[in-house]
Structure 1
Amino acid sequence: MEKPPWHILLMEDNAEDRADLRQMLLRGGTRRFRFSEASTGAQGVRKVLALEEGPFDCLLLDYRLPDMDAMEVLAALRNGADMPPCPVVVITGAAVEEGQQLLSAGAQDFIGKRWTGADSLNRAVENAVDRYALQRERLRAEDALRASEERYRALFNSIDAGYAVVEVMFGENGTAVDARYLEVNPSFARQTGLVGAEGQTLHALVPGIETLWVETFGTVALTGVPVRLERFSAVMDRWFDVYAFRLGNAPSPQVAVLFHDTTERKSTEFALIAAKAEAEAANRAKSQFLLNMSHELRSPLSSILGFTQLIESSKPRPTPAQQDSVEQILLAGWYLSGLINELLDFSTIESGKMVLTSRAVSIADVLDDCRALIEPQAQRSGIQIEFPVLAESFLVKADPVRTKQVLINLLTNAIKYNRASGRVDVRCTAAPGQPVRVSVEDTGQGLTPAQLAQLFDPFNRLGQEGSAEPGTGIGLVICQRLVEQMGGRIGVESRPGLGSCFWFELQLAPVPHPSADQRTTD
């Protein structure tokens, strides 16, 4: 494809000289040209800057024009910029020293009138165009570098983290012995408490500093492998989270260090760890106290119940007044026995001493056993209770005794906190591959969102402390712990005034496969 012609502006006041320049360019090479002319400096400057006939690929400028010389034209063309808008070749009869001034003023080349020929003029134009392109590229690179440095400096000065560039100093045996700070950002002093670091060595800035820091910087400088560490400096009495990486390729001794003072965060962490350990110790002590106290109460209570039962069955029989007292003692004793059992369960669970079995348990059998136990209580309280008729047994992985304990507790609460002539519905559902859910729904007063948030807090009876219904506020907590230890979960949905639905879920047990002997027998 043929190259487009170069557009040349001839700034020459002599018409014959302009004609000679055109002819020399046309005869001196294979490139095609087209020309524009200006007989004064002002006219040429206007054409270049206003692009009246441009743009131009090169400007041939006579050193002396009627109104301006070449230095003035170049200054006008540059208009404060680093370069003129197009390459300039000055035609002059002056000495080489003057030509150097022209190059400094913005011209790309100069050539003397007396030795200008077709070949030399073409070479001067081509050289000027090439040199101009190189100068423009250099300026673009310098601008990009300057912008990059400005961005780096803005980031360097604005980041909250401390940042430093250090030069690692090595001893004769090749080990790192010190590090000199070449550059630090404003956050350095805030993160370290050290001022005036630039130019100083680490040992001079922090006498007695641990060797770990210099050794770390030396390793990064030698290997080029970045290092991330969090360490405590006893000398500075601060924790630092540090990321160090080498600047440049080996064997560059310069290492960049980005760091944060984490002393406050570490102090908080240590305080939380200590508080957690203290709370766990207190909880263990509390659980052990409850365990011991429950055992201590059980022995005298057993004696009280035993002797009361002997009095009840003794001869002669107690008088009616005495019988009332005996029944009150037995009622209170059995209630107290139940409370002690709950405390024993709770303290055993909290101390981590509760051992549960895990085997395939039939939910249908659990429901049948619980129904037999709970229906008399429901009848005495005037509560209608409905159990589901299951088409299958629903085998779950659980402890059978504890599963019954959980369900009995939920049923007992549904009866105790129901309304007069209320209702309790027991349901059992299980989608294929999903846990088995057993739910107990009552028609009681329901729970508010605030009460639901405190439902599983130990010893919290949710405002029922003054009611006629006895309790300790740990029954549901025990249920929650037992279900979770069996790999399940427990929850509740409730609406004030409409009742509550407590439920628990347990994982399905693997279906047992018949043995070879059983298959043969079948």
Structure 2
Amino acid sequence: MSAPIQESSSFQLPPHFMATLIESANDAIISKNLDGIITSWNKGAERLFGYNATEAVGKHVSLLIPLDRLDEETAIITRVRAGEPVEHFETVRRRKDGKLIDISLNVSPIHGLDGQILGASKIAREITDLKVAEQRLEVSEEKYRTLFDSIDEGFCVIEMIFDEFGKATDYRFLEVNPAFERQTGFVQAQGKTMRQIIPNHDDSWFEIYGEVATKGEPTRFENYAKEIDRWFDLYAFRVGEPHENKVAVIFVDITSRKKSKEEGEKLLEQLAAERAKLEYLFDKAPAFVATLQGPDHVFELTNPAYRQLIGHRDVVGKNVLEALPEISGQGFKELLDKVYLSGEAFTGREVPIQLQTEPDGSPEQRFLNFVYQPTFETNGEVSGIFVHGIDITDQVQSRREAEIANRTKDEFLATLSHELRTPLNAVLGWSRLLSDESLDDEERVRAADAIQRNAQLQAQLIEDILDVSRIVSGKLRLETRPTELSTVVEAAVESVLPAAQAKGIRLQRVLDSGTSLVSGDPNRLQQVVWNLLSNAIKFTPKGGRVQIRLERVNSHIEIVVTDSGIGIPEDVLPYVFERFRQADSTSTRNYGGLGLGLAIVRHLVEMHGGTVTAESDGDSNGSTFTVELPIIALRSVDVITENSPEREHPTAHRQVSFECLPELEGLHVLVVDDEDDARQLVTTVLQKCGTRVTSVGSAAEAFEALQKLRPDVLISDLGMPGEDGYSLIKKVRALPPYEGGQTPAAALTAYARVEDRMKVLRAGFQIHLPKPVEPAELVAVVANLAGRHDES
């Protein structure tokens, strides 16, 4: 019934609101398409032309046009097609009863959402009375006088008064009709000038009437008389000879209409204010919200939370399957249809949905709580569906992870009971048999061997459990010292060799004699190698092959254990280093163990500043585990080998003298710690190795220095006042690479729990160094970080 109101924000007034305004207008408001077919018809049009909407809508507008006026319609449509409005066009039209009426037309183009012109909106007002008045004035003075005295419109003839410069400054009332006094409230105005009646009368009146008098062109206009607080609709035209400067004015008091319009505008302002509030709530709501229209469920509005949920796709104006094709076949379209047809709301709880949440991403599973709420027209019919809800994917995943953790814990406890009881059963059984004197010497030897073997197995299980406990509590510490890895590897190989020989497994060693030293705890490193070799032997069938390779690769040393065993399933591979994880935890499994060994390996390797990875092509294709450890940045050191008399901490009785490798010389390291002593210790150690050090006491200073100086490595404390190390590394990682965003970084902190280490790595640090740190370990870490930075 009017040109579409294009949505400029994410909220739209109900469609029936504008329709109500149009229906209540006094003027005839008609819309038609570019072919002249009437598409809407309000009550004002019904009053003016006599046709109701049923009779008029769908008919050609020529229904209202006399034959001799049809060319006017062609001209009007041509101007509308060009996007040009037609204003105050006076013409004649035919009513339903055949009566011709004078009307004034205002015609405006109707634009679609894409800017194309779809048709025209026409406002028609009857001016028959004014036209008749003009005609009667022209016919005769007698008729003029009759009209003059009888019409309801105010009428007057004025004489314009000009100054010596030709500017209209006043006018005198020559004639006024009875309606004049009623319309204006001016009593006995005839013969008086306007300035005499209202001295401060607005100059616009004089300018308009003066132009009509001088140019002779009639004009119709609306104007406000401030002094009497009235609005008038006026038609002014010149009468008499031009030199007489006479102007006739026909007018109607439209104050009530204007006030109604002002009240309507105030109402619209109030609605706009309410709309702004609703828009704010709509946009800021934490829940996702969308409105769908019609039986095809076409998106009308979406709020930011909804747009984020669907990957910021443009869905407005599209039906639900066109906008979100990935939900086809998941039942949501059917649910919407049911709600639309039944008019009953639907509530979904923890509903899974495959949804594309990134613009160019693939659909991923989300979980939603939502409501489909039908919306209704004033007649009670369903018009659309209001969708609102929340994304609970994180809560569901957290709960499921907790359930998995609890199930894993239960499985571990069951496995622990089994693994502890199995060797205990052998120990107790053979112990009882040893007390039986009927055993011969060979059987007694076999019993002693069985007791010893199972006691050692149980001791290893207990040691693994204690190691995990130390890891979880952050109490596992390293006795680091310069260590030759080949010695560690040889010792581990010797300890597993009997098990390999018992299964006929060929154990191959490929040891690079040119490997350098590492800074580490030789006992813990041997534990790492032993665990990897033991696993390889356990999961390799008889007659298989296990290889351990030790070699230097750039700035680190690699220990690679490869076997020809059963392999690791693809779905298990990402979790092999997690505690209690096993490919088979059932009571029918083929292999024993608690699922702790690889978790301990990973933690010990990372405590040494290294990494461990696992690879496998799946079932029966073997596995490869690779440990990378940084090379120690020392030349002249005390080295622990298999012939060393004692394995004691190098600082127990003597100080280690550092002669650093050339790789450290010239490096620039940025150190940040709010504790002066701790900062000075790190600075001193690194400077002794020829490293250039910039030390600062706060995260803010560190961030500024990093951008300006571009160091090779960042060493940062975590717990600092004002801004901590986590905040610092997040800001650094947000920088582009050319501003230092990829600077290698280590966290040097007294927070030493496992969760602290994980938080450090997730935040963006490459390495977690728990305090107190050994100088040798610190130097090794810096060398390793700088080496990685060079490779990248």
TM over 0.5: no
TM-score range, shorter chain: 0.3 to 0.5
Q: Which has the larger share of helix?
A: 1
Query: Relative contact order: is structure 1 or structure 2 higher (C-alpha 8 Å, sep ≥ 6)?
Result: 1
TM-score, length basis structure 2:
0.32
